[in-house]
Amino acid sequence: MRIGIEGQRLFRKEKHGMDIVAMELIKALQLLDSENEYFIFVKDGDDDTWFEPTRNFHIIRLKKRPYHLWEQFTLPRAVLKHRVDILHCTSNTAPMFINVPLVLTLHDIIYLENFKFISYKSTLYQLIGNFYRRWVVPRILKQSKRIITVSNTERSTIIQKYPDLRGKLRVIYNSYGEAFVRSRHINFEEVRDKYKLPDKYFFCLGNTSPKKNLTNILKAYYTFLDNNEEKIPLVLADHSPGDLFLFLNSANSKYKEYLKFIGYVSNWEIPSIYRNSQLFIYTSIRESFGIPILEGMVMGTPVITSNISCMPEIAGEGACYVDPFDPDSIAEGLTKYSVDSKDRDDLIELGYKQVDKYSWMKSARMLKALYEDVFNLEIIEKGKKPKAAFI
């Protein structure tokens, strides 16, 4: 079988959520599958160091274009040229006109919901992208042979909006990255010096998307500082202080000195930042999976997360749950797990147990079986005898 995988953004330097998921699954498939032929379609970019070529995995570098043009025109031509049997599009969208069976990973449908999840600093390009997704996704859902989503919570959400997709939808969980497996080899002293980290700190991913709930996180943190003698700094990754203070309109906050901004952190450095933090705050109001929950757990860091959306499904008994809409509830979690205690130790152990349920290899096995299923379904529809699935 010749399998095409869309990986448009996999060679860009600063990878995020969906890029990392596709990257980790491809690496797991390489270890798992020596039988089928894979063609990974990517935009040429600056970071190809993560990919180790193997006999049956081929990188197909395609010319850079705006992503909607690349997806609708450049990718279908490449699929035709390389004669793939099925195409897996990994990031919510796909070509509308394709001549092979389509597998779509629909991470979430947040952009199709009535939430105002547009950042204050959205560019024209981002706004066009949002409109593009809202327009193309409902159309490609109809033609997809199978649709993968990443949690049962998100599956239920999708079915509520698109009941006809029930028979097509499959759940394949995400996991934590290779960097967290190899993190013992990372020198934390170098990471600490590079980012000028304090000896003791809370950690948060400072994304300004409203679903990340940063306003309530900071309100909770300020309450913690008001009520506790020990002023533990809050380290925020991802955005600059200018971005965040403009977003929050709080540049004159009396607590500004306790906020430490470190910007984008590479996948190989961030495990150390988790591991050495006093706790990790992830109180989003809407997620489809929440990989950072697992990242905190596997590094032995207490995780404070939301009691809504997919978070209880993914975190199980391994996290402290709070009401993300109530800063006082978040602040109580910060206070409880900011000091060494039996409760803190117990939560860390429960986190280790929970994270053991997830692995990219397990997910890759499910993905490979799904490819076989789609391929055999296509053969049956053409009146031929299907091949036995090879797992």
Distance in angstroms (rounded) separating the CA atoms of residues 262 and 209 = 18
| 154, β-bridge pairs | none
What pLDDT is stored for residue 17 in this prediction? 85
The reported pLDDT for the residue numbered 251 is 47
Mark the ranges of the chain whose per-residue pLDDT is less than 50.
117-120, 251, 389-391
For the chain, the structural domain boundaries read: 2-175+359-381, 178-355
Predicted local distance difference test score (pLDDT) of residue 79:
97
The confidence score (pLDDT) of residue 188 equals 80
pLDDT tens for 64-104 read 898 889 999 999 999 999 999 999 999 999 999 999 999 99
DSSP code string of 78-139: HHHHTT-SEEEE-SS---SS-SS-EEEE----GGGSS-----TT--HHHHHHHHHHHHHHHH
pLDDT at 246: 54
Q: For residues 177 and 359, what is the distance between their CA atoms, to the nearest angstrom?
A: 9
What is the model's pLDDT at position 253?
66
First to last CA, the chain: 13
Predicted TM-score (pTM) of the model is: 0.90
In the sheet that 279-282 helps form, which strands lie side by side, from edge to edge? Answer: 259-263, 234-237, 202-205, 279-282, 303-306, 320-322
The single-letter DSSP state of residue 252 is T
Residue 183: what pLDDT?
64
Tokens of 16: 């995020």
Length in residues, the chain: 391
Architecture of domain 2-175+359-381: 3-Layer(aba) Sandwich (3.40)
Structure confidence by residue, pLDDT tens digits, 257-316: 899 999 888 888 899 999 999 999 999 999 999 999 999 999 999 999 999 999 999 999
At residue 242, the pLDDT reads 57
Q: What is the DSSP string of 154-189?
A: HHHHHHHH-GGGTTTEEE------HHHHSGGGS-HH
Spatial separation of the C-alpha atoms in residues 325 and 187, rounded to whole Å: 37
Second-level CATH architecture of 178-355: 3-Layer(aba) Sandwich (3.40)
Q: For 157, left (φ over 0), alpha (ψ -120 to 50), or beta?
A: alpha
